[in-house]
C-alpha cells in the first residue's frame, strides 16, 4: 500500500464534492485517476483520463505478456498501481453430498460439483502471480445462463482494501497483500430463470454498497468498509437486475443511484432514503448508470429501449414528467453499459455492434444507429482514453474509434479468444480478459 487512508477518503469524497464524480481532476485525485479501481474505471464512466493505450495489436505484436487464468470468469479486472486483481470460479472434481435442486421457475440447473471461488493478484508489469486466495468453496445453488459465469461481478478497491463479491457465496474484504480482513453473507439470491448473478460492489468513502435484486425480497445494502457491518438496508420493489450502483455527490449530498427494471432510483448514501425515482426502464436492467456534474444517465434495452437523463438535483417521482432532461427510446444496450466521454454518450443496440452517439447535454443524435465494421455480438462495455473509444466483441475483436461527431474507425485488432469482460486502460497499457487468458497490451519500444 502506498497511500494513507485520509488521502483515499479525499479522492472519493472531496473530489466529488468539488467537481462531481465525472468533473475535472482535482488536487489529490491523481492516484485514483491513474488507476482502474472499479469496473467502469476511475470516474465510473468508462473513461481513463490519464491513459494513452495502444492503437494497434494482434497475437504477434504489442503483447507485453499473456497469462493463463484458471477457471471461469467474466468479471472485469481492476488495477491499483502495479497490481491487477482478477476473480475466477474453479470447478473441482469433488461432488456435493447432496446436489441442489433447481427452482421450478428456473431454466437452468445447478452443478453437482464443488467450486472454488478465487481471488488472484498479478504483477502488472510481468504478469507474474503475486498471490491467490480461495474466498470459499461451495456448490452453487443455481445454474447460470450459458453466457454468464460464477465469477462475473468485478472487484473494487479504495487503494487500501480490496472488496470482492461472489454474490450468494458472500462478500469478502482483503488488504492488497491478500490477507482476509472480513467477510459477510447476504443470503442466497433467486435470479430470473436461474440465469445467475453479476452485479459489482461500489465503494465510496467509508461505505460499500451492493444491490441484491432477485425474484423476491430484493434489497440494497450499504456496509462499513472497515468492519463489514450493515449501515442500512432498503427493500426494493424490483425483480432480478444486474446493474452496479453509482455513487455521486451533488450539492453536498451523496446519492447512490441504482438502475432497475421498474424504476431507476437515487438513494441518500447516508440514510437509504429514496430521493428520486423514475419509471420507464425495460426488463432485465443491466447497464450501469453514468453521471457528469449535473445529470445521471440510465439506460436499458431488453425487449424495448429506454434512456433517461435525470437531473442530480431531482426529487420525488419523475416518471412521465418534464423534470426529466431528455429521454431516448431507440437502440439502447442490453448487456453492455454505455460510456460517457467528453460530453458524448456512446452505446450499442441490445448486444449487437450497432452504435449510436448522443450529445449528453441535449440527447440529440450525433450519429447512428450505425454498424461498427468488423464486430459481431458485444457484451463488454466500451472504454475511452486519449481521444479514442474502444469496443470489444465476444470473438475478441477490438475496434478503435476516433472520438467525435461521426463514426471514424482508426484500427481493428483481433485476438483469437472469446471475450465478455470489459477492457481496462491504465497508463500506456490495455488489459483484456479472455475466456482463458489475461493480456497486457502495450506498444513495443524499439
pLDDT tens profile 305-330: 999 999 999 999 999 999 999 999 99
**Strand ranges in 251-396 using DSSP code E only, listed in sequence order:** 253-258, 263-268, 274-279, 290-291, 295-300, 306-311, 316-317, 326-328, 339-341, 344-348, 354-359, 365-371, 383-385, 388-392
* pLDDT per residue as tens digits for the range 256-293: 999 999 999 999 999 999 999 999 999 999 999 999 99
Distances (CA, A) of 273 to 52, 255, 266, 315: 40, 10, 8, 11
Query: CA Rg, the chain, in Å?
Result: 20
pLDDT, tens digit, for every residue of 369-385? Answer: 999 999 999 999 999 99
Q: What topology does CATH give the domain 5-47+71-340? A: Lipocalin (2.40.128)
CB 382 within 8 A of CB 336: yes
Distance in angstroms (rounded) separating the CA atoms of residues 251 and 177 = 37
pLDDT at 258: 98
208 touches 222 (CB < 8 A)? yes
| The overall pTM is greater than 0.85 | yes
The C-alpha cell at 162 is 480490496
Q: Residue 248 — pLDDT band, cuts 50, 70, 90? A: very high
pLDDT-derived band at 445 (thresholds 50, 70, 90) equals confident
Q: In the prediction, which pLDDT does 207 show?
A: 97
Burial of 6 (0-12, 13-18, 19+ CB in 10 A): exposed
Could you tell me the three cell numbers for 39? 469496473
**Dihedral pair phi/psi, residue 186, rounded to 5°:** -110, 10
Say if residues 89 and 117 touch (Cβ distance below 8 Å): yes
H-type helices in 270-346, by residue range?
A: none
Mean pLDDT of 157-168: 97
Question: How does residue 199 score in pLDDT terms, banded at 50, 70 and 90?
Answer: very high
Residue 322: its pLDDT value, please? 96
Task: Give the separation between CA 364 and CA 293, rounded to whole angstroms.
Answer: 19
Q: How many percent of the chain have pLDDT more than 90?
A: 91
* Model pLDDT, residue 446: 64
Task: Give me 424's grid cell.
Answer: 481496462
169 pLDDT more than 90: yes
Contact between 38 and 78 (Cβ < 8 Å): yes
% of the chain at pLDDT higher than 70:
93
Nearest Cα residue to 414 out of 373, 358, 362: 373
Joined grid coordinates for residue 412: 481493428
**pLDDT for residue 444:** 87
Residue 28 pLDDT grade (very low, low, confident, very high; cuts 50, 70, 90): very low
**pLDDT for 3:** 40
Look at residue 218 in the predicted model and tell me its pLDDT.
Answer: 97
Query: What average pLDDT does this structure show over 93-119?
Result: 95
Q: DSSP letter for 85, please.
A: E
Question: Is residue 21's pLDDT more than 60?
Answer: no
Q: Which has the closest alpha carbon to 210: 253, 162, 239, 246? A: 246
**pLDDT tens sequence across 324-359:** 999 999 999 999 999 999 999 999 999 999 999 999
Full 3-state SS string of 132-162: EEEEEEECCCCCCCCCCCCCCCCCEECCCEE
Say if CB 243 and CB 262 are below 8 A apart. no
CA-closest candidate to residue 419, choices 397, 401, 441: 397
pLDDT at position 17 over 70: no
In this prediction, residue 442 carries a pLDDT of: 98
Question: Is a pLDDT exceeding 80 seen at residue 227?
Answer: yes
Alpha carbon distance 107, 33 (integer Å): 42
Q: Strands 316-317 and 274-279, how do they pair?
A: parallel
Using an 8 Å Cβ cutoff, are 331 and 368 in contact? yes
Q: Which residues pair with 334 in a beta bridge?
A: none
User: Given a cut of 70, is residue 8 above it in pLDDT?
Assistant: no
pLDDT value of residue 30: 78
Contact predicate 182/208, CB 8 Å: no
Q: Which three cell numbers stand for residue 226?
A: 472497515
Amino acid at each position: 500500500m502506498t497511500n494513507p487512508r485520509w488521502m483515499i477518503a479525499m479522492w472519493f469524497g472531496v473530489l466529488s464534492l468539488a467537481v462531481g464524480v465525472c468533473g475535472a481532476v482535482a488536487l489529490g485525485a491523481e492516484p485514483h485517476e491513474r488507476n482502474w479501481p472499479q469496473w467502469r474505471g476511475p470516474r465510473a464512466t468508462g473513461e481513463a483520463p490519464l491513459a494513452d493505450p495502444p492503437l494497434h495489436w494482434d497475437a504477434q505484436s504489442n503483447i507485453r505478456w499473456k497469462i493463463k487464468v484458471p477457471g471461469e470468469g467474466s468479471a472485469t479486472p481492476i488495477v491499483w498501481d502495479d497490481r491487477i486483481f482478477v476473480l475466477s470460479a474453479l470447478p473441482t472434481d469433488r461432488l456435493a453430498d447432496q446436489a441442489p435442486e433447481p427452482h421450478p421457475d428456473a431454466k437452468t440447473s445447478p452443478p453437482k460439483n464443488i467450486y472454488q471461488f478465487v481471488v488472484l493478484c498479478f504483477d502488472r508489469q510481468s504478469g507474474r502471480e503475486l498471490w491467490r486466495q480461495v474466498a470459499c468453496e461451495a456448490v452453487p445453488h443455481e445454474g447460470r445462463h450459458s453466457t454468464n459465469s460464477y465469477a462475473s461481478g468485478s472487484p473494487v478497491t479504495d487503494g487500501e482494501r480490496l472488496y470482492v463479491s461472489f454474490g450468494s457465496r458472500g462478500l469478502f474484504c482483503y488488504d492488497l497483500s491478500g490477507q482476509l480482513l472480513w467477510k459477510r453473507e447476504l443470503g442466497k439470491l433467486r435470479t430470473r430463470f436461474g440465469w445467475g448473478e453479476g452485479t459489482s460492489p461500489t465503494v465510496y468513502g467509508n461505505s460499500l454498497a451492493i444491490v441484491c435484486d432477485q425474484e423476491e425480497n430484493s434489497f440494497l445494502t450499504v456496509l462499513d468498509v472497515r468492519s463489514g457491518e450493515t449501515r442500512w438496508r432498503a427493500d426494493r420493489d424490483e425483480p432480478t437486475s444486474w446493474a452496479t450502483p453509482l455513487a455521486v455527490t451533488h450539492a453536498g449530498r451523496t446519492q447512490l443511484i441504482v438502475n432497475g427494471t421498474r424504476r431507476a432510483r437515487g438513494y441518500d448514501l447516508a440514510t437509504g432514503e429514496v430521493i428520486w425515482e423514475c419509471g420507464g426502464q425495460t426488463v432485465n436492467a443491466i447497464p450501469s448508470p453514468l453521471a457528469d456534474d449535473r445529470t445521471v444517465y440510465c439506460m436499458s434495452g431488453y425487449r424495448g429501449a429506454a434512456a433517461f437523463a435525470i437531473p442530480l438535483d431531482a426529487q420525488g417521482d419523475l416518471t412521465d414528467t418534464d423534470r426529466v432532461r431528455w429521454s431516448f427510446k431507440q437502440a439502447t444496450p442490453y448487456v453492455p453499459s454505455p460510456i460517457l466521454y467528453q460530453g458524448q454518450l456512446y452505446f450499442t443496440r441490445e448486444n449487437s455492434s450497432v452504435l449510436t452517439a448522443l450529445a449528453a447535454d441535449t440527447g440529440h443524435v450525433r450519429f447512428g444507429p450505425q454498424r461498427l465494421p468488423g464486430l459481431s455480438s458485444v457484451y463488454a462495455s466500451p472504454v475511452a482514453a486519449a481521444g479514442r473509444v474502444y469496443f470489444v466483441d465476444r470473438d475478441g475483436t477490438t475496434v478503435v474509434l476516433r472520438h467525435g461527431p461521426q463514426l471514424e474507425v482508426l484500427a481493428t485488432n483481433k485476438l483469437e479468444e472469446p471475450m465478455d469482460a470489459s477492457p481496462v486502460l491504465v497508463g500506456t497499457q490495455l488489459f483484456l480478459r479472455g475466456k482463458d487468458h489475461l493480456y497486457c497490451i502495450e506498444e513495443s519500444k524499439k
